[in-house]
């Protein structure tokens, strides 16, 4: 299994986990269920961890697809979007750890961290879609918008 395989296997988790976390955060808000909120925070933290591995496998994948003659501009665009996504994913993971603790300790401002987490997940989904689509354009040239 080479770096491109690893990258393709891992790249779905940092995008799907915030989606699941967002759904759980909203359910936790609606049903006032702290356990569901904490599970969502855990998923946000896991997303940050998967993002780290995804980013580290991306360099090796880049070398492989460049050797195959893929469009360097598309690769560079994907890399730039991935770096922005990764930064927000790491920050969201750290924020989720703090939000988990705040919720666990039943601090009075835990609702604020919940709303911020919902916003972070929504933003991650937006950036994840842009990043994932730009990655798909590297190997699936039929989806490139002209």
Give residue 142's pLDDT.
52
Is 118 inside any structural domain? Answer: yes
Give residue 1's pLDDT.
81
Query: Which residues of the chain are under the pLDDT cut of 50?
Result: none
Range of the domain at 97: 3-140
- b/e sequence 39-60, b meaning 16+ C-beta within 10 Å: bbbbbbbbbbebbebbbebbee
List, for residues 19-56, the tens digit of each pLDDT value.
999 999 999 999 999 999 999 999 999 999 999 999 99
Give residue 143's pLDDT.
52
Provide the number of structural domains found in the chain: 1
Is 146 inside any structural domain? Answer: no
Is 55 inside any structural domain? Answer: yes
Give residue 144's pLDDT.
61
| Contacts (Cβ under 8 Å, ≥6 apart) of 9 | none
Alpha helices in the chain (DSSP H): 3-10, 13-31, 34-67, 72-104, 110-139
Is 26 inside any structural domain? Answer: yes
How many C-beta neighbours within 10 Å does residue 140 have?
10
How many C-beta neighbours within 10 Å does residue 105 have?
8
């Amino acid at each position: 299994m080479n770096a491109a395989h690893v990258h393709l296997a891992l790249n779905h988790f940092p995008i799907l986990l915030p989606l699941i976390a967002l759904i759980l955060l909203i359910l936790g808000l609606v049903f006032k269920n702290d356990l569901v909120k904490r599970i969502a925070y855990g998923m946000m933290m896991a997303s940050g961890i998967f993002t780290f591995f995804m980013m580290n496998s991306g360099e090796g994948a880049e070398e492989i697809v460049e050797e195959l003659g893929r469009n360097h501009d598309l690769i560079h665009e994907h890399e730039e979007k991935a770096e922005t996504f990764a930064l927000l994913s790491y920050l969201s993971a750290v924020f989720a750890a703090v939000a988990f603790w705040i919720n666990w300790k039943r601090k009075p401002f835990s609702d604020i961290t919940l709303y911020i987490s919902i916003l972070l997940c929504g933003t991650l989904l937006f950036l994840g879609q842009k990043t994932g689509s730009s990655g798909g354009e590297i190997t699936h040239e039929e989806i490139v918008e002209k």
